[in-house]
Amino acid sequence: METLAFKLEVFEGPLDLLLHLIEKNKVSIYDIPIVQITDQYIEYVSAMPHEDLDLVSDFLVMAATLLDIKARMLLPAEEEDEEEGDPRAELVERLIEYKKYRHLGEELADYEIDGIKVMVHPEDLPAEVKAYRPPVDIDELLGDVTLAKLKSIFDDVMKRREDKIDHERSRFGRIRRQTVNIGDRIRHVRGKLAGGKKQSFRDLLGTGVTKLEVVVTFLAVLELIKTGDLRLTEDSTRDDFILMEGEHHSSEIISEYAEEI
Amino acid sequence: MKLDGMIEGILFAMGSSVSKKELAEALDVQEKEIEEAADALEARLASEESGITLLRLDDRLQLGSRKECYDALIKLASHARKPVLTNAVRETLAIIAYKQPVTKAEIAKIRGVNSDHAVNRLVEYRLVTEAGRLEAPGRPILFGTTEEFLRHFALSSTDDLPDISAEKLAEFTEEAEAESTEVEV
Amino acid sequence: MKLDGMIEGILFAMGSSVSKKELAEALDVQEKEIEEAADALEARLASEESGITLLRLDDRLQLGSRKECYDALIKLASHARKPVLTNAVRETLAIIAYKQPVTKAEIAKIRGVNSDHAVNRLVEYRLVTEAGRLEAPGRPILFGTTEEFLRHFALSSTDDLPDISAEKLAEFTEEAEAESTEVEV
């Protein structure tokens, strides 16, 4: 069928298709024969492969717009919304705006032909420049770090450490060697995420007091990812991961991990 | 060695672009002198048909090979060729270049289609980058072009982008009207 | 463009050395012509005081920057490598100042994270130095502050560091205990 011959062409979007139809029918962009163009547009869209739903929906939105314009144009002109003018006006404006950028994109293609042929040079610093380290000016480096500041930094670090110490246990005097149980850590991680809460991966590992605890917490996270209980996304701004409940989160602890390691 | 030679040697060793300000500090001269020496260097490279050319990227300078060397170069090197953009991506880039800073929503409105994919491609190619946030609900990201954009399209500044003159615009619409009168029904 | 310009552009973009044979093939000329063009290029670069020079390495050619540019390059490089005091480094310095002599392991225990990198930075900045070995398995290195550290803070001895009062420490402990009972599960 001749009218559908263009359906195999790839259009960048509904505006691109509309411009194509306007050019093909040799009609003015300012006086679009809306019935004719709408029919052709809808014919095209209905023949479109429907795999890419996002793309199809953008084409359907335009179809609705065209049908709306068509309906308004069929109404008697002397109705109360006369001051609105031509129902096609906004569409015409959009088409011209789009056509402008489509044209500029094509213009850029010519520049691109030259630009991509220019090659730059890899860094080639002489060895002595590469090996050079500027002498450190301690006064400049320390800048606003006064003695008082240094003290408050120390206080802060020690306070943070104090906060971590488990005073309940330390009352027993000698602290027994801790056994770390992956089941407990899984429960701990789950608790952190319960109810759709989000958790920073760094902060989570930071809750471990001993190295063993950190390692086992890490293993617990891996296990939960494997079972689909946990999902993680990257937080590139903070060089971190964000953990949250996965789709298959269950409240049961995997029994094989209930044993100690 | 004269200043233009020094600039040439420094740009060669650095490989990347260097700002005129940094060059002025490293060479202990005024930025105005760097500007003059850059002109001299550009003229010298052109006059003696050097295979190297001076690129100006806003207020930064960089050396590049001349495009005439390209064919011989790709025979020698399996150079990672710069990506050639598809129409959709280039169209999106044109909108960003001329309207920057601009949000994904504005781009989608002009193109009539969701353009997230095209914008993401451009960010990946480092032709486009985040340029702040719009002070509006949701604080959407604004996008603008990069130095790589200038290099990719052999431009010195976004001011050198091809004009959309009033005439050109009129041409568009006339074209459409002319077509319509021809086939008046 | 003449052959010497083509060679210049190719060597520039390649960065590495390229054999005359490869150049001859890429440019579709005889090796002898490459040889002559290389001579011409070398003479031209020398006569016009270019900051770039042609290096001959057996039968290979390469471009390099001239030695006269090194001082300016070092200025540029030292600007780029200006050290900054990160939080990790500050904290580590505070710990070493108050707890010296102290091992890397102890610092890591106090900060809760491996602090080797921060300690190494401080040694590099000469704010911290080795201060003997701990008489313990593995004889780990002890670190302490340097004379430069004292000089910067105008201290005659580390004994003059502002006191961490006993009250303050007790306060911390109470606070921490209160918090720990609150979060009892």
The CATH number of the domain holding residue B177 is: 1.10.10.10
* Sheet architecture: strand order including A199-200: A199-200, A240-245, A230-235
Q: Is A130 exposed, middle or buried (0-12, 13-18, 19+ CB in 10 A)?
A: exposed
Q: How many domains does chain C fold into?
A: 2
Give this complex's ipTM.
0.70
Same domain for C30 and C117 = no
Is B119 within a domain? yes
Q: Characterise A161 by phi-psi region: left (phi > 0), alpha (psi -120 to 50), beta (else).
A: alpha
Same domain for B67 and B42 = yes
The pLDDT, as a whole number, for residue B106 is 95
Given an 8 Å threshold on Cβ–Cβ distance, is C82 in contact with A134?
A: yes
Same domain for B111 and B31 = no
Same domain for B122 and B53 = no
Residue with the larger pLDDT of the pair A179 and C7: C7
Answer whether residue B125 shows pLDDT above 50.
yes
Cβ-contact A128, C78 below 8 angstroms: no
Select from C48, C74, C100 the last residue of a domain.
Answer: C74
Same domain for C91 and C123 = yes
Task: Give the span between the Cα atoms of A128 and C174, in whole angstroms.
Answer: 56
Select from B52, B74, B96 the last residue of a domain.
Answer: B74
**3-class DSSP state for residue A22?**
helix
Same domain for C70 and C97 = no
Task: Give the span between the Cα atoms of A153 and C93, in whole angstroms.
Answer: 9
Is C117 within a domain? yes
Among C81, C127, C153, select the one facing A134 at the smallest CB separation.
Answer: C81
Q: Is A98 exposed, middle or buried (0-12, 13-18, 19+ CB in 10 A)?
A: buried
Select from C39, C74, C109 the last residue of a domain.
Answer: C74
B neighbours by CB contacts (3+ pairs under 8 Å): A, C
Same domain for B100 and B168 = yes
Given an 8 Å threshold on Cβ–Cβ distance, is B1 in contact with C66?
A: yes
Same domain for C44 and C23 = yes
| Domain carrying residue B67 | 3-74
* Range of weakest confidence among A203-217, B11-25, C127-141, C149-163: A203-217
Query: pLDDT tens, A69-88?
Result: 988 888 776 655 555 678 88
The pLDDT, as a whole number, for residue A82 is 55
Is C82 within a domain? no
Nearest CA in chain B to A57: B113
The pLDDT, as a whole number, for residue A254 is 44
Cβ-contact C72, A132 below 8 angstroms: no
Same domain for C114 and C68 = no
Same domain for C103 and C56 = no
Is C81 within a domain? no
Beta C60-65 vs C18-19: how paired, if at all? antiparallel
Residues of C in contact with B40 (CB under 8 A): none
The pLDDT, as a whole number, for residue A126 is 80
Q: Which of B79, B76, B50 is closest to B64 using CA atoms?
A: B50
Is B81 within a domain? no
Confidence class for position B4, pLDDT limits 50, 70, 90: very high
Is B79 within a domain? no
Locus of tokens 């520049």: A111
Among C7, C49, C76, select the one facing B51 at the smallest CB separation.
Answer: C7
The pLDDT, as a whole number, for residue C43 is 94
Same domain for B160 and B104 = yes
Is B80 within a domain? no
Token code pair at residue C141:
């290195």
Report the DSSP beta bridge partners of residue C19: C60
Same domain for C91 and C170 = yes
SS3 for chain C is CCHHHHHHHHHHHHCCCEEHHHHHHHHCCCHHHHHHHHHHHHHHHHHCCCCEEEEEECCEEEEEECHHHHHHHHHHHHHHCCCCCCHHHHHHHHHHHHHCCEEHHHHHHHHCCCCHHHHHHHHHCCCEEEEEECCCCCCCEEEEECHHHHHHCCCCCHHHCCCCCHHHHHHHHHHHHHHHHHCCC
Confidence class for position C167, pLDDT limits 50, 70, 90: low
The pLDDT, as a whole number, for residue A46 is 84
